[in-house]
Each structure stands twice: as C-alpha cells, then as structure tokens.
C-alpha cells in the first residue's frame, strides 16, 4: 500500500515567509543595535555635523565665487562701454562680499562659538 504524500504548498509558503521575516528582523537588529550603543553625546554629534556642513558649504561657495568672479572679470574686460564695465566690477564686489558673509557666519558657528562655551556660568 503505497500512499502518496501530498505537499501542502500553502503551509510551506507560510512557514518560509515566517523564516524570512525572522531572518530579516535579526539582520536589521544586528545592523542597528551596535550603532545605537556607540552614539556620542548629542552636543558632540551636533558639533561634528555643523563642522561637516560648514566645510561643504565653504567648498561649494568658494567654487561658485571663483566661477562668478571669472564671469565678472571677463564681462568687465569685454564690455563695450564704461557703464557695463562698472556694473561688472560692482557685481564682482557683491559676489565676494556674499562669499565673505556666508563663510564668516559658517566659521563663527563652527569654530568661534565653541570657544565661548562655559563662559556664561556662575561658580
């Protein structure tokens, strides 16, 4: 008496999906939990983020200021009238003034402000 064994594919798929979900959960926990335990102080992380953002903004603004300066100088040299040349030189001054302001604010926030920490406390 040979009995044929039938496989219940629905039950098999449910069990495989359960194993898949458990494996995915274990993988996610293995990736996330070690990092959560290694977190620094909130202020240290914020200071690191501020400095990182400042360096990126300073790099982008420097490249753009250089590019706009080149365009302004070429525009001043190739202009046909003195009025257009003066406008190009005024534009160059505005570009560099904006560059100084953007990088000055970023430098103050990233590097000068931490020097004043603790000065407003009473002993």
HSE-up of residue 58 (Cα within 13 Å, Cβ side): 15
CB 82 within 8 Å of CB 94: no
pLDDT in tens, 8-33: 888 888 899 999 999 989 888 877 76
Spatial contact of 88 and 36, defined as CB atoms under 8 Å apart: no
Write down the residue that tokens 């931490």 correspond to: 114
Q: Count the domains in the chain.
A: 1
Q: Is 25 part of a structural domain of the chain?
A: yes
CA distance 119 to 123: 10
Q: How far apart are CA 50 and CA 109, in angstroms?
A: 8
Q: Does residue 4 sit within a domain?
A: no
Give the separation between CA 114 and CA 105, rounded to whole angstroms: 14
Q: pLDDT of 40-83, one tens digit each? A: 777 777 778 888 888 888 889 899 999 999 999 998 999 889 99
Domain that holds residue 73: 9-116
């Amino acid at each position: 008496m040979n009995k044929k064994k039938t496989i219940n594919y629905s039950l098999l798929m449910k069990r495989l999906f359960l194993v898949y979900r458990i494996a995915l959960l274990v993988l996610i926990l293995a990736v996330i939990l070690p990092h959560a335990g290694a977190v620094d102080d909130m202020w240290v992380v914020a200071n690191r983020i501020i400095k990182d953002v400042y360096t990126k903004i300073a790099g982008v603004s420097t490249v753009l200021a250089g590019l706009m300066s080149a365009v302004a100088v070429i525009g001043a040299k190739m202009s046909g009238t003195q009025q257009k040349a003066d406008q190009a030189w005024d534009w160059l001054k505005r570009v560099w003034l904006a560059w100084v302001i953007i990088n000055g604010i970023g430098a103050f926030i990233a590097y000068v402000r931490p020097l004043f920490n603790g000065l407003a406390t009473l002993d």
